[in-house]
Amino acid sequence: MDKKQENKKVFLEIVHQLRELIKHEGIQPGEKLPSERVLSERLNVGRSSVREALRSLELLGLIETRHGGGTFLSAVHSNQLVELLASFILQENQAIEDVHTVRRMHEKEAIRVICSKQSLRSLPVWESLFMKLELENEIVRDLLLRELLIASGNRLALKIWIQLVAYSATPLKKLTTEDEKPMLQMLIKSLQLGYEKEALNAYENWILYLRTSS
């Protein structure tokens, strides 16, 4: 098992133990969790590993850190969808891939919506992104994806996507490479012309490139 897989296994085990601790002690939404030191001792893992797990859970909306006050279980009324999603994805390794699949479903639907409406196809952001790629040869990967979700106009889909991408953000936060440039420019131009099939093909080719090159 390589180090990446080993780290993932440790993370999932910490999360599993933490969930059991919360359930066993009856910690309610809004109540304080044990400190990093206490968790490290009780879970028998290093503090750095505990810290990373807590940081990931905070990104998912399960917990919140208050400056100088400690870490608390998120209030039940906030991020309910995220809590359900997090409960699902953190129970098994296989489900991590499902997160990526659902994220891609939202991205492809956004492409379909944009291609179907002239007002969305003609938004100036597409030409701006195209020229940025042409002149600078790179953009942050998730910038284009975020603009797709924003342009589609579905606020709920955007909120879900933000949480999904937070869980798989590492490759998407990086700059594009020279190899990605023609795929992304094809995607953008197809969007502008309303060519749904070509836009989706360019998107799929790009996602395949990311999966095979990471």
Q: Express each pLDDT in 124-154 by its tens digit.
A: 999 999 999 999 988 989 899 999 999 999 9
Would you say residue 22 has pLDDT above 90?
A: no
Q: Where are the domains of the chain?
A: 3-87, 95-213
Would you say residue 38 has pLDDT above 70?
A: yes
Angstrom distances, CA of residue 54 to CA of 12, 34, 207: 11, 11, 29
Would you say residue 94 has pLDDT above 70?
A: no
Identical fold, 3-87 and 95-213: no
- The architecture CATH gives domain 95-213: Up-down Bundle (1.20)
Match domain 3-87 to its CATH number in 3.30.1490.20, 1.20.1250.20, 3.30.950.10, 1.10.10.10.
Answer: 1.10.10.10
What pLDDT does residue 79 have? 46
Q: Tell me if 168 sits within 8 A of 103, measured CB to CB.
A: yes
Question: What are the residues facing 71 on neighbouring strands?
Answer: 65
Closest CA to 209 of 195, 201, 45: 201
Give the pTM: 0.61
